[in-house]
Chain A
């Protein structure tokens, strides 16, 4: 065999050893593996004072950009929201494709354990100021999947929630009422849940790690 082929063979052998020794499928918890993702501790952002903060709050409230992640059933009512009939754009609400550009994360309905890991990852990638709206009864107390082995019961134990909109699922007008309420909270300076997440980071992480066993992300190649 040429040297290249020998090296390739050695590489494949070592890959096989690694494969046998390590996880055999994604999701299987690896004892003793250092968890590398989603461990970065966020910082508490102290608000400015007085009129600057009022101005910033006004600006934040009038430009709530929603992350495009339809996590559950509730996402189906987000689409009519963006049409001219219910017209969310008059509130400054627009949909954005990436977490880096979004400030509101709408959790539409139930969150399975698999989705919760992605929700947390997207939430932690969003930059401050960020807000979370929980849609539907599934985020409040598990809804009609309260006894399911795969959906979480209380969203606010895993990520902080600013506004809950009840319903199953909430009408677009109800979601707009949720946005209005969120705007009120922001203007009053009370929508500080992102800071609460940073302050109680350990508690949230402990809850998350209780159900999410494997934080590893699938490999990319570049």
Chain B
């Protein structure tokens, strides 16, 4: 199917999934999907002529991704990541899909609760999704049941603290506690400090 603009493709997509649309935005007045406000469970934001973000509830996420891949030609999974909106109590997962024929990107975003978050795995759709899911499990604590090797640590070794990318984890405080920070200079006058250090008698 030929679509002239990404808005048309998105309309067709919404129609096919039967989710309806709330709070649409255009390139002139983009609706911010990033404040994480739970106002709209279904949401669309067109960032530019070749990039759009759509937000769907968690139980429709996998279905929408499969539709985009099989019917609309978005065959390339660019990445899968999560952002922590601690003030709204959600993790926002972003599945970025790219279509090589239309050269458009659609980011499917899903809000998950921060405690006990799980999401259906898509490792059977794309082989590299297993790697992304392992990283999310380690860095955020989001579980993807059934994904291969999901329990094995991927990047960190011997980590027994809070998953580090969560916003309640304070990396500076952890570093000062665990590693030995070298005390720095306590003055903002480097020339004076060096003079004092090198020529103390003068």
Chains A and B directly touch (beta carbon < 8 Å): yes
Give A contacts to B, CB under 8 Å: 24-29, 113-114, 117, 140-142, 146-154, 157, 207, 210-214
Assess whether B180 is in contact with A157, with CB atoms less than 8 Å apart.
yes
Q: For the complex, give the distance between the alpha carbons of A25 and B178 in Å.
A: 23
- Interface-forming stretch among B50-58, B148-156, B190-198? B148-156
Assess whether B181 is in contact with A153, with CB atoms less than 8 Å apart.
yes
Assess whether A153 is in contact with B158, with CB atoms less than 8 Å apart.
no
**Given A142-B181, A146-B181, A154-B179, A27:B157 Cβ within 8 A:** yes
Chain A CB within 8 A of B182 CB: yes
Q: For the complex, give the distance between the alpha carbons of A210 and B175 in Å.
A: 12
Considering only CB atoms and an 8 Å cut-off, how many residues of chain B contact the other chain?
21
Residues of chain B within 8 A (CB-CB) of A152 are 179
Q: Which of A117, A147, A151 has the most chain B CB atoms inside 10 A of its CB?
A: A147
Assess whether A148 is in contact with B160, with CB atoms less than 8 Å apart.
no
Residues of chain B within 8 A (CB-CB) of A213 are 158, 160
Q: For the complex, give the distance between the alpha carbons of A114 and B158 in Å.
A: 8
Assess whether A114 is in contact with B178, with CB atoms less than 8 Å apart.
no
Assess whether B159 is in contact with A148, with CB atoms less than 8 Å apart.
no
Known contacts A149-B164, A154-B182; 19 additional CB pairs below 8 A are: A24-B151, A27-B159, A28-B158, A29-B158, A29-B160, A114-B156, A141-B184, A142-B182, A147-B172, A148-B175, A149-B175, A150-B156, A150-B164, A154-B179, A154-B181, A207-B180, A210-B178, A212-B158, A213-B160
For the complex, would chain B's binding face be called helix, strand, loop or mixed by DSSP majority? loop
**Given A141-B182, A149-B164, A154-B182, A26:B171 Cβ within 8 A:** no
Q: Which of B156, B158, B160 has the most chain A CB atoms inside 10 A of its CB?
A: B158
Rank and list the top 7 A-B pairs by shortest CB-CB distance, nearest first. Answer: A213-B158, A141-B182, A147-B172, A153-B179, A27-B158, A27-B157, A114-B157
For the complex, would chain A's binding face be called helix, strand, loop or mixed by DSSP majority? loop
Q: For the complex, give the distance between the alpha carbons of A210 and B179 in Å.
A: 9
Q: Which of B169, B178, B179, B184 has the most chain A CB atoms inside 10 A of its CB?
A: B179
A113 to B, closest residue via Cβ:
B157
* Contact code string B156-188 (vs A, CB < 8 Å = 1, else 0): 111111001000010110110011111010000
Q: For the complex, give the distance between the alpha carbons of A153 and B175 in Å.
A: 8
Q: For the complex, give the distance between the alpha carbons of A160 and B130 in Å.
A: 40
**Given A25-B153, A148-B175, A140:B160 Cβ within 8 A:** no
Q: For the complex, give the distance between the alpha carbons of A151 and B172 in Å.
A: 11
Q: Can you sample 5 A-B contacts with CB below 8 Å?
A: A140-B182, A149-B178, A153-B175, A153-B181, A154-B179
Assess whether B182 is in contact with A153, with CB atoms less than 8 Å apart.
yes
Q: For the complex, give the distance between the alpha carbons of A26 and B149 in Å.
A: 12
- The smallest beta-carbon distance between B120 and chain A, in angstroms, is 23
Q: Which of B175, B181, B184 has the most chain A CB atoms inside 10 A of its CB?
A: B175
A115 to B, closest residue via Cβ:
B157
Q: For the complex, give the distance between the alpha carbons of A43 and B184 in Å.
A: 35
Q: For the complex, give the distance between the alpha carbons of A59 and B157 in Å.
A: 40
